[in-house]
Structure 1
Amino acid sequence: MFVNRDYIYSTFVLLLLASISLVCASNHHKYKNGDVIPFYVNNVGPYSNPTETYEYYSLPFCQPDHIKYKKSKLGEILQGDAAVLSNYNLPFKISIKEHTLCEYTINKQEIERFKKAIDEYYYAEMIYDDLPIFSFIGAVDRETDPENPRYFLYHHIPFEFEYNNDQIIKININTANIKATELTSSEEIKLKLTYSASWAPTNYEFSKRMELYEEFFSKELEIHWLSIMNSFFLVVLLTGFLSIIIMKILKNDYSRYSRNDEEEDSDYQEDYGWKLVHADVFRFPPHKNLFSSFYGIGWQFLIIVCGILLLSLFGMFYPNNGGNMYTAGIILYALTSCISGFQSAKMYKNMGGDKWAWNIVLTATLFIVPLISVVFLSNTVAVTWHSTVALPILTILEVLTIWLFVGFPLTVIGGIAGRRLSGPFEVPCRTKNFPREIPPIPWYRRLPCQVMMAGFLPFSAIYIELFYIFNSVWGHNSYTLYEILCLVFIILLIVTACITVALTYFQLSMEDHRWWWTSFINGGSTGIFIYLYSIYYYIYRSHMYGLLQTTFYFTYMLIVCYFFFILLGTVGFLSSLIFVKRIYKNLKSD
């Protein structure tokens, strides 16, 4: 009940803020004929490296006399937003045939900078009425003379606007009418940058205008329903088959144990299997503090993912504005910190722990410290490269303040509540003082082999969806099929629980009672497979390159996989705990 209240409260707050922002946005995006609307230029960067972005005027474009920066929201800053007010003048519903932006001369060094950017397929992002506009800065011709390619800089941009009464619905660039200037090997080149504007009415609703921006770049996000359903039915069959086998084996075990208990003749044979470890199966694992902290954080992460998925179903996240998801994640992490504190302290008390202060500190820092380390490393590289993805120091302080004054205190409050409200750890079997000796275990039943089996099956259920998610996060596609994502996440939890329970049973059948940490590691092993897939995706599916992009990709993917390791490890352990209590309770009742 404690968890549910916190989850409902945080979700209600986020939905309320989303509704208010939506109403305010609709009211403040209405214009009259001829109204001047600010036009911002945001970032430039190589198309293959979405994370590697730089300020627009880092290239030798003509700058306005007085550069003014747009005040970005937290989510936009987290995405590397560095919007600057430009000297484009595009009044509402005023058609422009051709207007000069500026005329200036670039020297040989600036020509080479443009050539290098065009060679790496740099594209620019601009913002008008909070709508994104994307455009490559030029083109290169390698076919005419491969040894001496020709470079062309776009000097005329034809904007096309669609409006519904007094609101702007869509902005596009007519690529057929773009004009270019060839960048030769001259010492100087005179540039004349121009633009035009055309306006056309549409009946599309303002509230759905962001849905039109899924097609900015070539979209490959068309989910193959047949593949998804194939994975779904495969998982259902495998888990059903596994469940039937376990149930049948358990039934035979109960029959055998019951038969042996009733036999009193000389032909009595000694028992074997999981019954023999009933006095050790609930023996607490080593490193109780660390285990309970992982367990509590896993509960928190489960609530966070469910909250984000729920918000996505309500339409809070839309294409080309992933910053909202980052903001929601930060808020949910802070508000659900009490859940991790509660569950960790509850488990720690059941284990008989007495270092309460260390338990709270470990729970509060076990994830946030690695995350801060990754952010510091990535930010250092980004600052060195003068990239806009480097988070401003004020933004970092703002996020740390949220954690310090909201997240950490809630963890302390949750820890106190968990310690005082937790009841006794009820188990059906009494634990002996001295542990039973564990017989030799074959190599194929030890932890490394279990990890391979436990991680592969859940990963096989989600790897198709992972490709599209990676394309969205590390590419230019937009992911909007959140209903399918919810279904895949539910399948992931079910498969993780089933495979972990099965491996726990096989471990106990080998008379190995050390299942606590094993079930957690087996459940979280899917995170290892996700990281291995990220390496494959980077090498064979993406075109990313360079130190900056590589650093961001692999460090942040490491944190994401660590996140899912803790989440799925908690699911695996919890399902195994329920299973173990159940089978030994039934054994006791026989």
Structure 2
Amino acid sequence: MHADIRRYAIFCCLSALVHALYIPGVSIKSYRDGETIPLFVNKVYSDTSELQYKYTELPFACPPTGRIRSGRFTSGASLSLNLGEVLRGDRITVSDYELVMGNDEEARYLCSHTMDKAGLKRTRELIHRGYVAEWIVDNLPGATSFQSTDKSRKYYAAGFKIGSEVASGGAEPQYFLNNHVTLVIRYHRAPGRNGDHGKKVIVGFEVFPKSIEAGSRDENGLPKDISHAEHGLELVGKSNGTAETEEETETLTIPFTYSVYFREEAKLDWQNRWDMYFVAQDDSSGIHWLAIVNSLVIVGCLTAALAVVIARTVQGDIKAGLEEVRIKPRQRRGPRSPRKSTEKRGNLIDPLGDIEGDADVSSDEELLDDATGWKLLHGDVFRTPPHGALLAPLIGSGVQLVFMATGLLVLGSFGVLNPSFRGGYISVGTGLFVFAGLFSGYFSSRVFKTFGGHAWKNNVLVTASLVPGLLFATVFFLNLFVWIQASSNAIPFGTLVGLVALWLFIQLPLVYVGGWYGFERVGAWSHPIKANSIPRQIPPQSWYKNGAQTILLAGFLPFAVIFIELMFVFKSLWQDKSGYYYVFGFLAVVFVISVITVVEVAIVATYMQLCQENYHWWWQSFLVGGSSSVWIFGYLVWYYFAKLHIEGFVSSLLFFAYGFLACGVYGLLMGTIGFLAAYAFVGRIYSAIKVD
């Protein structure tokens, strides 16, 4: 009975974590009838390109006039954005579209805009690549509505197409620009006293684009029949000059109009308005559960293997060693050889930790002769690794990433970070990373001192500069290509200066403080056995136990744990282009399981390496922990060729470069976890056989 209650309680807690609490925002904006609602235009993006563009800078966009005022917003003004919004390519501007709560507009004229030949060519290229526009009303992205396959539910896809491409047999395709939009604002009665006073809240924003020819319009520039327009606006320029200058003077004047309708949505509350964007992800919840079951099966098998290693093999070796200690000193001892005693004091430390050399030498010899496997490495297992001055900063940066990733997953799982907080994941992640400089300096300095380092200030400088410096240099280099393309992905110069200031004036001092405390106040970790003065010779290793093969094979299991969930993350980033991945409860569970898997793989791989009398486990454990990133990058390459349709050199360069950076960061994070797990394991088993 009690066991059933415990299982039910565990299931309820897991379900609560998976579904997560959603906190859409801290304030609700309500509107009264007749109040103007601002419409913001943001950017255009495509699933065939990594380049985004600011909407108001497109050749066909009507330039804002500044004639529309809505509270503190004036059309044409650009909004102040947080760091995450800037880095994700948002460029939000107040538009001239006039929306008045409760007032339907069957047709309204916006402007007429003339494009030259270069603008026509650019617009046709954008339509060919399937670019969609993102508009925003009350923090909701304008959506294209769809019906589920069984037509029982409606769901939203963020963005709407700017035009359409029509193939015409073997001839050149025709391109039509959507110059009319029907905006449907869905509202609900405001909660509380605002609702009692007749105020309303917006729960949906739908955009239905349409292409209508420039002719057959009245004196106000409105089409005579919007609902039954037979011909669209084809992007074909007309000459205004002589035959010699026909191509240079090719232009097209495009009239833009819009319709506005307000419809009540009585069944959809404000706090659930984002659910419409996630219906497709909700339908895939069964696959998410499959990912968790798959992960649990893998980690269960690893746990069983680890239990055998620890419970039977390691503990058996330790018990056998302790039994030898109790029996052999009581056996009849022969005469002590001074020469051998001197050799023992100078070169060897027995398996039981006789550092001073005061134990019976004949007993030591017998113990060394009987020792097998990992116990033979007692005098070398804690020897300082090669390039330890590089490993220490990597471990510090890895701890910094662990703190950041854990914070983001916790905040995302409980709904504090959500799609309504635009750019929140990047902004909060950057803040957590900078603050975690304290932990980075602390762990890096302690590892550095454990390796026998003395110049801790140099180590602090390397720790604070190595990973952030490489990331910044790579991003800056890639940013040059994006600047040339005039894309909104290009990070403004002022933002780059701000990031450098954040790095040098906030993170670096935090790393310094953590490094000083870890090196001067806490100090190095103590080891149960000191290293011999002369390194032990490592016997030849089997080819399948070579470092590269072991590292690559060990990384497959953690990759298999997260493989299914990665599919949804990739789809959200590179196919949907919305970035609205919200099932952080599932992702948090899979992340925890993957961490457990990395810990167990690192321990098993380290134990097998020690049994082969190879004491170079420091770097090996780090590389084993992070080796799943190699498989993830391989999956990225396959995903690029099999699932995506990215075109152009710059877009492909951005995809692979940022994908490589993400895999490198993930590998550093998991490598640090693997190193710390192996370090704790090695310290535990060798301290268990030490006898004072």
Q: Same fold (TM over 0.5)?
A: yes
User: Quick one: which of 452, 459, 470 aligns to 1:359?
Assistant: 459
User: Quick one: which of 87, 103, 111 aligns to 1:102?
Assistant: 111
For 1:338 and 1:147, how far apart are their aligned partners in 2? 64
Structure 2 CA distance for partners of 1:106 and 1:277, relative to 1, 3 Å: closer
Task: State the 1:245 CA deviation.
Answer: 3.0
| Residue identity matched to 1:138 | G
Task: State the 1:423 CA deviation.
Answer: 4.5
| Cross-structure match for 1:491 | 593
| Cross-structure match for 1:130 | 139
| Cross-structure match for 1:61 | 61
Give the alignment of 1:437-452 within 5 angstroms: 437-452=537-552
The answer as to 2:314 corresponding to 1:214 is no
Structure 2 CA distance for partners of 1:104 and 1:411, relative to 1, 3 Å: closer
- Helix, strand or coil at the partner of 1:59: coil
Give the alignment of 1:84-483 within 5 angstroms: 84-133=93-142, 134-142=159-167, 144-165=168-189, 166-174=200-208, 180-184=232-236, 186-187=238-239, 188-203=251-266, 204-214=268-278, 222=285, 224-225=287-288, 227-247=290-310, 248-254=312-318, 257=321, 270-319=370-419, 323-423=423-523, 425-476=525-576, 478-483=580-585
Percent of residue pairs bearing the same amino acid type: 29
For 2:371 and 2:688, how far apart are their aligned partners in 1? 17
| Residue identity matched to 2:254 | L
| Residue identity matched to 2:255 | K
| Worse overlay, 462-471 or 198-207 | 198-207
- Helix, strand or coil at the partner of 1:545: coil
Task: State the 1:224 CA deviation.
Answer: 0.7
| Cross-structure match for 1:8 | none
| Worse overlay, 365-374 or 71-80 | 71-80
Query: Is this contact kept in 2: 1:36–1:91, CA < 8 A?
Result: yes
Task: State the 1:74 CA deviation.
Answer: 2.1
Task: State the 1:459 CA deviation.
Answer: 0.5
The answer as to 2:62 corresponding to 1:38 is no
Task: State the 1:252 CA deviation.
Answer: 4.4
For 1:410 and 1:340, how far apart are their aligned partners in 2? 9
Query: Is this contact kept in 1: 2:51–2:487, CA < 8 A?
Result: no
- Helix, strand or coil at the partner of 1:63: coil
For 1:340 and 1:178, how far apart are their aligned partners in 2? 65
Deviations 1:303-355 (A, max 9, x none): 11111111112212223755100000111011111111111112222222111
Counting helix residues as a fraction of each chain, which structure ranks higher?
Answer: 1
The answer as to 2:176 corresponding to 1:74 is no
Structure 2 CA distance for partners of 1:566 and 1:105, relative to 1, 3 Å: closer
For 1:90 and 1:341, how far apart are their aligned partners in 2? 53
For 2:487 and 2:287, how far apart are their aligned partners in 1? 36
| Cross-structure match for 1:577 | 679
Task: State the 1:502 CA deviation.
Answer: 0.7
For 1:554 and 1:47, how far apart are their aligned partners in 2? 15
Q: Unaligned regions of 5+ residues in structure 1, if any? A: 1-17
Deviations 1:164-198 (A, max 9, x none): 23322210023686964233464454422111011
For 1:190 and 1:344, how far apart are their aligned partners in 2? 63
Structure 2 CA distance for partners of 1:578 and 1:225, relative to 1, 3 Å: same
Structure 2 CA distance for partners of 1:106 and 1:524, relative to 1, 3 Å: closer
Residue correspondences, number: 567
Query: Is this contact kept in 2: 1:260–1:271, CA < 8 A?
Result: no
Give the alignment of 1:544-583 within 5 angstroms: 544-583=646-685
Query: Is this contact kept in 1: 2:35–2:100, CA < 8 A?
Result: yes
Structure 2 CA distance for partners of 1:570 and 1:413, relative to 1, 3 Å: same
Query: Is this contact kept in 2: 1:52–1:549, CA < 8 A?
Result: no
- Helix, strand or coil at the partner of 2:575: coil
| Residue identity matched to 2:639 | Y
For 2:675 and 2:80, how far apart are their aligned partners in 1? 46
| Worse overlay, 127-136 or 565-574 | 127-136
| Residue identity matched to 1:71 | S
| Cross-structure match for 1:13 | none
RMSD: 2.8
Task: State the 1:463 CA deviation.
Answer: 1.0
| Worse overlay, 175-184 or 224-233 | 175-184
- Helix, strand or coil at the partner of 1:367: helix
- Helix, strand or coil at the partner of 1:363: helix
Structure with max Cα Rg: 2
| Residue identity matched to 1:74 | L
For 1:178 and 1:391, how far apart are their aligned partners in 2? 44
Task: State the 1:225 CA deviation.
Answer: 4.0
| Residue identity matched to 2:623 | I
For 1:322 and 1:437, how far apart are their aligned partners in 2? 58
| Cross-structure match for 2:356 | none
| Cross-structure match for 1:508 | 610
| Residue identity matched to 2:519 | R
Task: State the 1:148 CA deviation.
Answer: 3.0
| Residue identity matched to 1:149 | P
| Residue identity matched to 1:167 | V
- Helix, strand or coil at the partner of 2:36: coil
Structure 2 CA distance for partners of 1:155 and 1:175, relative to 1, 3 Å: closer
| Residue identity matched to 2:669 | L
Task: State the 1:119 CA deviation.
Answer: 1.4
For 1:104 and 1:139, how far apart are their aligned partners in 2? 19
- Helix, strand or coil at the partner of 1:402: helix
Query: Is this contact kept in 2: 1:211–1:319, CA < 8 A?
Result: no
- Helix, strand or coil at the partner of 1:366: helix
Query: Is this contact kept in 2: 1:55–1:387, CA < 8 A?
Result: no
For 2:485 and 2:500, how far apart are their aligned partners in 1? 24
Task: State the 1:424 CA deviation.
Answer: 5.0
Deviations 1:35-68 (A, max 9, x none): 2233222212334225433444322233233543
| Residue identity matched to 2:164 | A
| Worse overlay, 225-234 or 399-408 | 225-234
For 1:113 and 1:588, how far apart are their aligned partners in 2? 74
| Cross-structure match for 2:624 | 522
For 1:503 and 1:107, how far apart are their aligned partners in 2? 65
Task: State the 1:550 CA deviation.
Answer: 1.9
For 1:413 and 1:252, how far apart are their aligned partners in 2? 44
| Worse overlay, 314-323 or 511-520 | 314-323
- Helix, strand or coil at the partner of 1:474: helix
- Helix, strand or coil at the partner of 2:255: strand
| Worse overlay, 174-183 or 478-487 | 174-183
- Helix, strand or coil at the partner of 1:224: helix
| Residue identity matched to 2:652 | T
Deviations 1:493-545 (A, max 9, x none): 11111111111111111111111111111111112222222212112122222
Structure 2 CA distance for partners of 1:316 and 1:255, relative to 1, 3 Å: closer
| Residue identity matched to 1:433 | S
For 1:413 and 1:543, how far apart are their aligned partners in 2? 48
For 2:618 and 2:400, how far apart are their aligned partners in 1? 20
Deviations 1:253-291 (A, max 9, x none): 34654676657799x865331111101111111222212
For 2:384 and 2:56, how far apart are their aligned partners in 1? 58
